[in-house]
Amino acid sequence: MTVPAPDPQVVRDASLQELARLGLPLPPAEYPMVWEPGDQVALRPTAELEARAAVLHLIQARCFGMPPQTAMSWLLGSRLTEQVTAPEWQFITLAEGDHRSFVLHHEALFALSWVLGLAAHIDPTVAPDPRTAGRFPDLAGGETFDQWRARTLAAPRAADEAAQLLDLYYCLDWSFLHAEREGLPLPGELDANAIGQRRWALEWAVVLVGPYHEDPPPGWEEVDLST
């Protein structure tokens, strides 16, 4: 459901207050807003969020030893092959690509867990709860995507709540990168790569509607993290 986006300046002020509380550098005054007054916001459909999370979960299994034949069989049995991007397919089938980057997707998966209501928090100072993996399909047991959905009570967050978290991670991404470049201390267990992965997932999951946003929204590989 599409709803009015919250006041971007009020949200940004809250994000900056959180950065200050964490002792992080603040982005410059001209740092762009994520949305404009009058824009609307929604989440991607729940089934699409779940499918993306399931694919990322499978990629994690592939990173840590699942044979390619087993991974492809699961995708076919779960009818999720069309949800896999070209780089992901190359990694799943041929182990080609940046292995470290795919391992880091566990941070993106954690962010999607929060969006789906499967994780209670997404604290930027704390690593993902190791129990998060148990909230996704039991790949070793052969649980399909549909079977997982049937036993999981996903309760997606409100779109405006997710937008507020997106703005925070948008600011955190700048702050962590700046802090690392300047040799400044970070506030917890995470580094800029982890923050960037969480932002990636939130940028993809939150759909903004307005004159300056893409329609349809960008795909997973098209999410722009350059700002």
Tokens 């790569």: give the residue.
Answer: 193
Residue 185 pLDDT: 96
Tokens 């049937």: give the residue.
Answer: 150
Q: Whole-structure pTM over 0.85, yes or no?
A: yes
State the chain's maximal CA–CA distance in angstroms.
Answer: 51
Residue 47 pLDDT: 96
Mean pLDDT of the 89-117 span: 96
Q: Which helix (H) or strand (E) holds 16?
A: helix 8-21
Sequence letter at residue 225: L
Lowest mean pLDDT segment, chosen from 92-101, 131-140, 153-162, 199-208? 131-140
Check pLDDT > 90 for residue 130: no
Phi then psi dihedrals of residue 110, to 5 deg: -65, -40
Question: pLDDT grade, residue 155 (50/70/90)?
Answer: very high
pLDDT tens, 25-67? 999 999 999 999 999 999 999 999 999 999 999 999 999 999 9
Q: How many CA atoms lie within 13 A of 206 on its CB side?
A: 32
* Separation CA 223–CA 14 (nearest Å): 24
45 within 8 A of 118, measured Cβ to Cβ: no
pLDDT tens, 19-28? 999 999 999 9
* Separation CA 70–CA 80 (nearest Å): 14
Can the peptide bond before residue 216 be classed as cis, meaning omega within 30 degrees of 0? yes
Using CA atoms, how far residue 97 sits from 88, 110, 193, 218, in Å, is 8, 22, 17, 21
Residue 200 pLDDT: 98
pLDDT tens, 67-93? 999 999 999 999 999 999 999 999 999
Question: pLDDT grade, residue 133 (50/70/90)?
Answer: confident
Residue 153 pLDDT: 85
Query: Which tokens sit at 79?
Result: 């009818």
Query: Which tokens sit at 184?
Result: 């400044």
Residue 134 pLDDT: 84
